[in-house]
Structure 1
Amino acid sequence: MLPIINGESIKELDQEFILSKGILSIDLMEEAASAFVEWFYGIFKDRTIKIYIFCGPGNNGGDGLAIARLLSKMGYPINVLYLMNGKGCSKDFQANFKKLPKNFIATNFENWNRQIDHGSIVIDAIFGVGLSRVLEGAISDLIGELNNAIATRIAIDLPSGLPSDSVTTGQVFHAEHTVTFQFPKLSLLFPEHIQFTGKLHVVDIGIEDQFLQKFSSNTFYIRKEDIFSRHRYFHRFSHKGDFGRVLFIGGAPGKIGALFLSSYAALRSGSGLVSCAPEFEENSSVQIPYNEIMLFQVKSNTDLGNMDAIGIGPGWGTAIDPDYFLSIMVRFNKPMVIDADAINLLAANPFLLKKVPKNSILTPHLKEFERLVGKVSNHAERIEKATSFAIEYNVVVILKGAHTLIALPDGRKLFNSTGNQYMATAGSGDVLTGMITSFLGQGYSPENAAICGVFHHGLAGELASQSKRRGMIASDIIEKIPNTFIELGIE
């Protein structure tokens, strides 16, 4: 997986990489600029659109100057606006400034006429990861002007004003696209910052994963190439029992659809045998919409040991006897997937937490998570609390949302790269519970079940949204689960 390096270590990382390759820092800057331009041309092919590149005095500004030169060579009309030149600027900024063509339009901020053509592109290269203060004065005013421009706004590496690892408290450039180099900076993954980051694009500038590992802070970004090796493989003599026997418990009257979504998602994820146990007095009165799902009645003495995995909580309701929940955990006594109302029961009855089977997977959304750990003020705090909770109770915590966080019992923090806004629909979380439970039942480790479930879930949402967009519903996500295996080459 791709390590996410904290801001304080990035300068050291760059210096060590440059030394190890026997290159100059300006060579790495050129690589970054080339990667940005390749991404840019893939989206903005109209070479008549006017581009304004705003450059600060540091290496982020140097990136902007190199990008300006390369885009100009491709025929794009470029205007460079710079804060200063010469003393006070980084050496690579000065070197790239000297490389600009003689006929190039480069204007100091103080002499700029404050005009940006409507429909143009504004590229922010003012401040990058080195910024450690809130923007004030003229620079803050400038960022405010750029945010009000009727233009497409793009940030290089980080939107100016955004700290690399913490929550911002000041003025920040509002990017519609953020093109970050080699790995995402942690703050780009915070929900509070979506208005600043827009769509996130990670471009490769040639720093190998093995080199990045030296600077790892136990925080990682999950990519497509990380998934293949985590899957189990089956052969032609495999039978349905090999693919796992899973059970879903929940579905109080009026909420049984949640249970069916989880069960059907498990089938589409590859489970061999899927049963559901709704909270009804008589299961014979339940109408199951999918012929492949079996009904199961969980009583106080029901043997659960023959199940390979249990997913508990979807649509369960809050009137469940805590001792009944405890009896299920004691009788099963293997890692299980705990979601929705089962999480609410844990929060309301803290004595149950110590009875949760080790390495179980909890899948709270943000509000459910706060019921477990208390109020949090921002996502940075939320990440730390999720990590501490996973370590304390020896469980996997999946904090659902954009860039879903997987907090592992050993302290590692993994962020997902798949999914989109169209997945914010009723039942999407129940689908995720079904997928994770399915992989757990197929014999995956809890870690791999969590990673594969989260990644495939987001990818299925992406595929379904291509034709549905905001009309997508949870069932659409389920129908695209098989396509995710095809997309990833999983047999």
Structure 2
Amino acid sequence: MLEIISGTAVKKLDTDFIAEKGITSHRLMENAAQAFCDWFESNYHRNDKVGIFCGPGNNGGDGLAIGRLLWRKGYDVIVFLLGEEGKVSADCRLNRELLPDKLPAISMSADDIAHMEFDLDVVIDAILGVGVNRPLGGDFLGMITKLNALTHVSRVAVDIPTGVPSDECLEGDAFKADITVSFQYPKFSLMFPEHAGYVGILHVVSIGIGNKFMRQFSQNKFYLQLKDVVSRHLNFSRFAHKGDFGRVLLVGGSYGSIGAIRMCAEASLRTGSGLAACLVPTCGVQVLQVGLPEVQVISSNSDRSLSLAYPKEGLDRYDAAGIGPGMGTTADAKEFLLDFIKTFKGPKVLDADAINILAQDKEMQEYLGEEDVLTPHVKEFERLVGGCQNHKQRLAKAREYSRQYGCVLVLKGAHTCISFPDGTQYFNSSGNKHMATGGAGDVLTGMITSFLGQGYGVKNAVLCGVYQHGLAGEIASEDKRRGTIASDIIKAIPKSYLALDVD
């Protein structure tokens, strides 16, 4: 699994790798350029006009090597050089010298930046890299402003968009990439929603640095990818019966909000639960028995919301529970939640209104434990912990909350962050913007609950649930785009197993 390390450690990481392998820093730069070009070839045509904007540091050196390699592969390439000649790094200078004579290379002055017009199909940003530690200014800001104003071009950032710091939140402006191709590991700041408009779609390409070198700089932050999930899935024999696939209880719903718990239950079944039961107020019984006949339905003996009158006998027959979707935050719901948390002893997922109730009652949070999973979106999370100035602070608070209460916290969003009580955090790579639709969170609750019920253990259940939820969303939106709804994600869950090649 890929480590996410500090941008300040990059120089030491590169130095250690170079020394161990007995190669030069220029050779490592060539590896990075080749990895970028391999990706580029599979995404862009040779008749595209490609402009590569190169700064004076090693990020510019990467860009120059990329330009040389793409030109040799037959791409229509032009290189633009920025920065003072006396401040060019050694490897960047070498790559300037290695540019073929016939490859157009233009040195850009401030006046050139202000007046030059660019006729390009693809803009590759290799101006400044992970060393940025202050807002852009001068010629660099002028060039970025010019590039951001171009229309009808595809923008690709090399490693990190110029101007975006690797570990902090952006101040000022930065290159607005459609795609960022990051080398070896994603930089921490690329996980921040504040930077979404600058990062675009993130791709991570290997340049040959193994985990052995990454671990010495570990911050216990990891990037969750498809290959990390497949091995975490359980295998079941042909003799397995529905009991082996787990019995789960989905709890929630209130008058006018039964759909949430219905979607949660259907997602659980599609994820593989052997048996799913729903505990709902009486207003939801008929809805579920007609709309989702595969689930058992238990009434809490209250017409409009969950109440303390729910049947408690037999709760121990369920392997896991998911609670919260659509349940409301009435006084009855609050009493119910506290009683359920105390009564149900198995692993459980708390979502939506269950989290909103917890936020109102700090004492109730003391009942959380290592088998409990909270799945808040950003607003729900800030109700729990208070306001946050930025996402970096939010992630720090998520880690601290998980440690304090000994539970797992899934902070939902692009690159959903999963915090474990031991301080580790995992950032998800699957999913897309088309999943930003009502009910998608209820689907996630059902999926994680299902994996808990199947006996995955808390860590594997959460990692598999979060990744596969995003994967199902990608599959569902392939032919629907912004028309994707939560029910489409549920329908795509079986296809996600096919994509993972998990039986």
Q: Same fold (TM over 0.5)?
A: yes
1: CA distance, partners of 2:275 / 2:288: 19
2: CA distance, partners of 1:32 / 1:183: 12
Q: Structure 1 counterpart of 2:414, which letter? A: A
Equivalent position of 2:249 in the other structure: 247
2: CA distance, partners of 1:461 / 1:297: 32
1: CA distance, partners of 2:365 / 2:81: 56
The CA RMSD over aligned residues, in Å, is 1.6
1:147–1:174 CA contact under 8 A, matched in 2: yes
Which stretches of structure 1, 4 residues or longer, exceed 4 Å deviation after superposition? 284-287
Q: Secondary structure at the match of 2:65?
A: helix
Q: 1:48-447 maps to which residues of 2 (within 5 A)? A: 48-84=47-83, 86-110=85-109, 112=112, 114-150=115-151, 151-280=153-282, 283=285, 287-298=289-300, 299=309, 302-303=312-313, 304-319=315-330, 320-447=332-459
Tell me, yes or no, if structure 1 residue 13 matches structure 2 residue 23.
no
Q: Structure 1 counterpart of 2:129, which letter? A: G
Equivalent position of 2:28 in the other structure: 28
1: CA distance, partners of 2:350 / 2:71: 55
TM-aligned CA distance change 1:429 to 1:386, over 3 Å: same
CA displacement 1:68-92 (0-9 Å, x = unmatched): 1111112222221112464321110
Aligned-pair identity in percent equals 49
2: CA distance, partners of 1:465 / 1:282: 30
TM-aligned CA distance change 1:158 to 1:138, over 3 Å: same
Matched pairs, number? 490
1: CA distance, partners of 2:299 / 2:384: 29
TM-aligned CA distance change 1:281 to 1:43, over 3 Å: closer
Q: Which is further off, 211-220 or 83-92? A: 83-92
2:4–2:186 CA contact under 8 A, matched in 1: yes
TM-aligned CA distance change 1:249 to 1:59, over 3 Å: same
TM-aligned CA distance change 1:189 to 1:116, over 3 Å: farther
Q: Structure 2 counterpart of 1:172, which letter? A: A
Q: Structure 2 counterpart of 1:144, which letter? A: T
2:132–2:163 CA contact under 8 A, matched in 1: yes
Q: Structure 1 counterpart of 2:29, which letter? A: M
2:258–2:284 CA contact under 8 A, matched in 1: no
Deviation of 1:309 (Å): 0.4
1: CA distance, partners of 2:103 / 2:370: 63
Tell me, yes or no, if structure 1 residue 483 matches structure 2 residue 486.
no
1: CA distance, partners of 2:34 / 2:368: 51
1:370–1:376 CA contact under 8 A, matched in 2: yes
Q: Structure 2 counterpart of 1:136, which letter? A: G
1:18–1:28 CA contact under 8 A, matched in 2: yes
TM-aligned CA distance change 1:117 to 1:283, over 3 Å: same
Deviation of 1:264 (Å): 0.5
Deviation of 1:397 (Å): 0.5
2: CA distance, partners of 1:18 / 1:245: 53
Q: Secondary structure at the match of 1:403?
A: coil
Q: Secondary structure at the match of 2:487?
A: helix
CA displacement 1:341-392 (0-9 Å, x = unmatched): 0000000111100012433000001110011001111110110010000000
1: CA distance, partners of 2:472 / 2:19: 42
2: CA distance, partners of 1:286 / 1:206: 52
Deviation of 1:410 (Å): 0.5
2: CA distance, partners of 1:132 / 1:117: 29
1: CA distance, partners of 2:488 / 2:225: 23
2: CA distance, partners of 1:290 / 1:300: 21
Q: Secondary structure at the match of 2:480?
A: helix
Q: Structure 1 counterpart of 2:52, which letter? A: I
2: CA distance, partners of 1:347 / 1:280: 27
1:313–1:338 CA contact under 8 A, matched in 2: yes
Q: Secondary structure at the match of 1:344?
A: helix
2: CA distance, partners of 1:346 / 1:152: 45
CA displacement 1:166-214 (0-9 Å, x = unmatched): 1101120111111110111011111111110111111111112233222
2:134–2:171 CA contact under 8 A, matched in 1: no
Deviation of 1:63 (Å): 0.3
- Unaligned runs of 5+ residues in structure 1 are none
Q: Structure 1 counterpart of 2:100, which letter? A: P
CA displacement 1:284-318 (0-9 Å, x = unmatched): 67644122111023445613112100100000011
- Unaligned runs of 5+ residues in structure 2 are 301-308
2: CA distance, partners of 1:48 / 1:439: 48
Q: Which is further off, 173-182 or 322-331? A: 322-331
TM-score by length of 2: 0.94
1:231–1:452 CA contact under 8 A, matched in 2: yes
1: CA distance, partners of 2:258 / 2:206: 46
Deviation of 1:117 (Å): 3.5
CA displacement 1:194-235 (0-9 Å, x = unmatched): 110111111111112233222211000001111122112211
Q: Secondary structure at the match of 2:124?
A: strand
1: CA distance, partners of 2:470 / 2:324: 21
TM-aligned CA distance change 1:24 to 1:214, over 3 Å: same
2: CA distance, partners of 1:447 / 1:348: 27
Deviation of 1:138 (Å): 2.4
2:356–2:384 CA contact under 8 A, matched in 1: yes
1:253–1:280 CA contact under 8 A, matched in 2: no
1: CA distance, partners of 2:266 / 2:311: 27
2: CA distance, partners of 1:257 / 1:401: 22
Q: Structure 2 counterpart of 1:309, which letter? A: A
2: CA distance, partners of 1:264 / 1:72: 52
